């Protein structure tokens, strides 16, 4: 297959570069329009470090696993 020459080669080179630029713009816009709001909602609703107090109580019952020195030595 022969390489295009003259005006056709110039147009194809321009369209190639234009497609690369537009692809970056379109994908960037989709990233900020779709993933941005989802990330903000999930960040506002989640508490992975459990920094907020539970609605009912912040009390945690004591677990009696290592009441003696021997039990403390056996832990893993």
Name, in order, each residue with C-beta under 8 angstroms of 66's C-beta and a sequence gap of 6 or more: 72, 75
pLDDT at 22 over 70: yes
pLDDT at 1 over 70: no
pLDDT at 3 over 90: no
Q: What's the rounded Cα separation, in Å, for the pair 35 and 27? A: 11
pLDDT at 54 over 90: no
Report the pLDDT value the prediction gives residue 41, as an integer from 0 to 100. 93
């Amino acid at each position: 297959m022969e390489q295009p020459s003259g005006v056709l080669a110039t147009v194809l080179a321009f369209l190639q570069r234009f497609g690369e630029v537009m692809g970056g713009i379109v994908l960037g816009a989709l990233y900020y329009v779709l993933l941005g709001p989802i990330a903000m909602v999930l960040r506002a609703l989640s508490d992975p470090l459990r920094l907020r107090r539970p609605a009912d109580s912040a009390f945690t019952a004591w677990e009696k696993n290592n009441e003696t020195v021997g039990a403390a030595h056996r832990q893993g």
